[in-house]
Structure 1
Amino acid sequence: MEALHSTPTNTLTARSRSSLWIGLWFGVVTLIGLLNALHRYLNNVANRAPALFSVNLIEELTGSLSFGLMLPLLFAALRRIRQLPSRWQRYACHALVLLLLSALHTSLSWGSRALLFQLAGLGHYDYGVMPWRYLMEFPSDIFYYLLVAIVLWLIDRYRAAQQRELRAAQLESALSEARLDALRLQLNPHFLFNTLNAISSIMYERPRVADEMLARIGELLRATLNAKVQEHPLAEEWRLLDLYLDIQRARFGQELAVTIDTDPALARIRVPFLVLQPLVENAIEHGGEDRQVSIAAWRSGAQLQFRVSNPAAAGGAPVHRGHGIGLSNSEARLKHLYGDAAGLRLEQRPGQGWDVLLWLPCREEAAV
């Protein structure tokens, strides 16, 4: 039974990130206080007027920590000010926030120092004439205000640029997937209409053959509709191609002769879904009266290569004439999936016919 109080991973990640930022904030403001205290102490020593280091330390740490406590509110105010439509509204708000920040910073510093001096046994803390102290602290608060505003603006610009790049990459990926799906769905009706036309031409003369063809086309379409990915192992591609060839064997009988030459070691290499079917279909439909088709697959270095051949007579029409959808879609899918690392080429064998050569990168399916 699953524990009722289990904490989601994303919650733990958010807590870890928050703890990291809090630790970083505390470390930075403490370091600033320590460095300022050391600077003041050494300056006093150099002026032959040494003072207790603890006094300098309390004063500088309370000053830096007081300012650091107001940073979250300052961040929120600066981001809201950026959204104001008018430039003068933004300037006025910056001036108002700066005045409030400086007054609050000086007041927190004075109050915390008075308390810590008593706790440390250093006696009463005298901060001098307070109106002049507020004026004295104001110039340094202007500097830190501008520094925080500029750094926050740069950080937000950087984050916005990252988010734009991420959205652009996601949109590009979604667009590429949509294009691939559209190309694949365009192939399915093309194949389906051709097969149904073939069935309709023999259903009265050879009803048993037509029935067998319908059963095979049902299996093939079921596999096509259930496919959720653009690639699958070559072994699955051979299985689906065999279903398609069963349909054509039922249609043409002994007229069709198909030979497949492949290496079982290539079975796990990923290939585009039904990439071979339109090439084989073109070879069968326009391959000559003997309908002899040979299919070969082999590995050449980092590439997987295919050759689909037919015995069309020399000087005959190219295989893809009148059937541009099959080859053009196959080429477009290869381009979307692999870029320049894959391609498709039509070659004529002198006096023998046409070959379709296809190549793509070797990417093996992960072993289960």
Structure 2
Amino acid sequence: MLQQLGIAFGAWTIVAAVAYARIPLQALAQGRTLPPMRGAFEHLVSCWIWALFTPAILWLVRRYPLDRGTWAKNGAVHLAAAAATVLIGAPPSYAITALLDVPGHAPDLTTQIFAESFIDVFSYAALVVLGHALAYYRESAEQRLRASQLETRLLSARMEALEARMHPHFLFNALNTISSLVRTGDAKAATRAVARLGDLLRSLLLDDGQEIPLSQELEFVGRYLELEQARFGDRLSARIEADPAVTVAFVPRLVLQPLVENALRHGIEPSSDPGRIEVRASRSGDMLELEVRDSGAGGGSSQPSTRTGLANTRARLEQLYGDRHELILSSDGKGTVARVVIPFHSRPRLPQ
């Protein structure tokens, strides 16, 4: 209320200054003597009276808007209010002009009321128009906010659905790794793999939102690679490189795991020779670049399991970033490189 009143006084002070400025300017232009400054004070006081009325009039506009179907009834309310402002505002204005002996002041209160009634009604009408404009702007802003919130909730729901599809897919592949260790009779490796799987499941069960810091995603990928190293043994070595300044960026959960899985299935598993997987994260301008490289012979993602993970990853990136993302698989005969490029942002885009 006080803030609104302060704005009203400031605005009406400007109106008073503009309204009075033409009087001395006309006098200068016509070579006449400048009028006394008492007239300026009279303009100022008159406008300040309207500044006091302004919050009440704007409240009346909100309470009795001139909408279709209500304009007749509410219009009568505003006509009565306009008449009241004229009758209430005229006495102090007349008293001040008489006290200051402003040139041309009304000889009596009745004359003052009739003299200022037109400008007062016009001022009231202007405030009614302003009140409706503010109401329409406020309603439009609220509608835009609600639409934005609805769009965000819809996007969050879609992301959750896609991530939910990835959880059983990831779990199936992890259990498949453990079962292969059990079949080969490597009890120690199977035990380590179960422990790593427990760590991974705990990470998945933490409700950290759809987006997490890159540092957490890299930690998750590191544990996943440890689980796979229990299976591949000396055939698999891994390296994760990321500047600490980059790891504060937020990324979709499980954005790297399908890329690492694809590298394992097509770069490491088909060969009996030792292989290597490298995970890198870097920043280029306002974009974050994630790269998963394997040392295998290449070959893309023909298996249904990896196709599912990559398709879900692509769909999630599309939902979150639109056309501001890339997911590219390339092969140079020395291995396969999976590259993801997304906007760098240090705060989550979706509600956590």
Q: How would you bin the TM-score normalised by the shorter chain?
A: 0.7 to 0.9
In the alignment, the residues of structure 2 paired with residue 245 and residue 106 of structure 1 have an alpha-carbon distance, to the nearest angstrom, of: 83
Residue 124 of structure 2 corresponds to residue 145 of structure 1: yes
Residue in 1 aligned with 2:276?
Answer: 294
Residue 319 to residue 280, structure 1, CA distance change in 2 (3 Å): farther
In the alignment, the residues of structure 1 paired with residue 84 and residue 241 of structure 2 have an alpha-carbon distance, to the nearest angstrom, of: 81
| Alpha-carbon displacement from aligned partner over 1:265-286 (angstroms, at most 9, x marks no partner) | 4774445443332222233345
Q: CA deviation at 1:146?
A: 2.4
| Alpha-carbon displacement from aligned partner over 1:2-42 (angstroms, at most 9, x marks no partner) | xxxxxxxxxxxxx9xx44x4333223334444554565688
| Alpha-carbon displacement from aligned partner over 1:221-240 (angstroms, at most 9, x marks no partner) | 21232362524235x54443
Residue in 2 aligned with 1:5?
Answer: none
In the alignment, the residues of structure 2 paired with residue 173 and residue 158 of structure 1 have an alpha-carbon distance, to the nearest angstrom, of: 22
In the alignment, the residues of structure 2 paired with residue 364 and residue 319 of structure 1 have an alpha-carbon distance, to the nearest angstrom, of: 33
| Alpha-carbon displacement from aligned partner over 1:143-193 (angstroms, at most 9, x marks no partner) | 222222222222332233333333333333343344333333332221112
Q: Secondary structure at the match of 2:108?
A: coil
The normalised TM-score by structure 2 is 0.74
Task: State the identity %.
Answer: 27
Residue in 2 aligned with 1:3?
Answer: none
User: Matches of residues 111-260 of structure 1 in structure 2 within 5 Å?
Assistant: 111=92, 113-114=94-95, 117=98, 127-128=107-108, 130=110, 134-200=113-179, 203=182, 205-226=185-206, 228-229=208-209, 230-233=211-214, 236-254=216-234, 256-260=235-239
User: Matches of residues 214-363 of structure 1 in structure 2 within 5 Å?
Assistant: 214-226=194-206, 228-229=208-209, 230-233=211-214, 236-254=216-234, 256-260=235-239, 263=241, 265=243, 268-269=246-247, 270=249, 272-286=252-266, 287-288=269-270, 290=272, 293-296=275-278, 297=280, 299=282, 301-302=284-285, 304-309=289-294, 311=296, 318-349=301-332, 355-361=336-342, 363=344
How many residues of Structure 1 are paired with residues of Structure 2 in the alignment?
335
Letter in 2 for 1:90: W
Q: CA deviation at 1:47?
A: 12
Q: Which runs of 5+ in 2 are unaligned?
A: 348-352
In the alignment, the residues of structure 1 paired with residue 140 and residue 257 of structure 2 have an alpha-carbon distance, to the nearest angstrom, of: 44
Residue 98 to residue 58, structure 1, CA distance change in 2 (3 Å): farther
Q: CA deviation at 1:343?
A: 1.8
Q: CA deviation at 1:288?
A: 1.5
Q: 1:104 aligns with which of 76, 80, 85?
A: 85
Contact 1:341–1:361 at 8 Å: present in 2 too? yes
Contact 1:342–1:358 at 8 Å: present in 2 too? no
The normalised TM-score by structure 1 is 0.71
Q: Secondary structure at the match of 1:109?
A: helix
In the alignment, the residues of structure 1 paired with residue 318 and residue 133 of structure 2 have an alpha-carbon distance, to the nearest angstrom, of: 39
Contact 2:212–2:252 at 8 Å: present in 1 too? yes
Contact 2:177–2:231 at 8 Å: present in 1 too? yes
Coordinate RMSD, CA, aligned? 4.2
Q: Which runs of 5+ in 1 are unaligned?
A: 1-14
Q: Which has the higher contact order (CA 8 A, sep 6+)?
A: 2
Range moving further from structure 2, 262-271 or 187-196: 262-271
